[in-house]
Amino acid sequence: MIKKISHIGIAVNSIEDALKLYTEALGLELKGIEVVADQKVRIAIIPVGNTRIELLESTDPEGPIAKHIKNRGEGLHHVALEVEGIEGILEGLEKKEIPLVDKKPRIGAEGAKIAFLHPKATKALIELVEPTE
């Protein structure tokens, strides 16, 4: 079951440079910064109401965020939907022949289970997120 928009991921070259807009100009507060090593990304989490913005900075020049920026420039990377029962949702999507980047969830920011749907089917990169309770 899809519950809400979890977050919007924005690819940036530098979290510190990008934060100036969100904290100084827009007055939002930084919740924290964490590294998800297996995804080669550093993430700044900025709450906005009951959702958030995640600034994504590559920790590796060959990482997925670095490649995204090289090909498309900085900007919108993905939209994340908060779900309940991520494994069942992935199984259902696979049965409906929706292309998946991840057939099984992996661990993302804040220890949440995550999986991506392939943008060739969704026209945008969509992440499914099941937070840990």
CATH number at residue 31: 3.10.180.10
Name the domain count of the chain.
Answer: 1
Q: What is the pLDDT of residues 94-116, one digit of tens each?
A: 999 999 999 999 999 999 999 99
How far are the Cα atoms of 51, 67, 70 from residue 73, in angstroms, in the given order? 24, 9, 6
Quick check: 133 pLDDT over 80?
no
**Is 83:128 a contact under the CB 8 Å cutoff?**
yes
For the beta carbon of residue 97, count every other beta carbon within 10 angstroms. Answer: 8
Q: What is the pLDDT of residues 81-92, one digit of tens each?
A: 999 999 999 999
**Which pair of tokens denotes residue 105?**
């969830």
Task: Specify the pTM.
Answer: 0.92
Structural domain harbouring 120: 2-130
How far are the Cα atoms of 5, 16, 76, 90, 125 from residue 13, in angstroms, in the given order? 24, 9, 13, 31, 19
Q: What is the pLDDT of residues 40-73, one digit of tens each?
A: 999 999 999 999 999 999 999 999 999 999 999 9
**Which pair of tokens denotes residue 128?**
């499914």
For the beta carbon of residue 12, count every other beta carbon within 10 angstroms. Answer: 21
Selection from 33, 43, 45 nearest residue 11 by Cα: 43
DSSP helix/strand/coil, 31: coil
Distance CA 91, CA 71 (A): 31
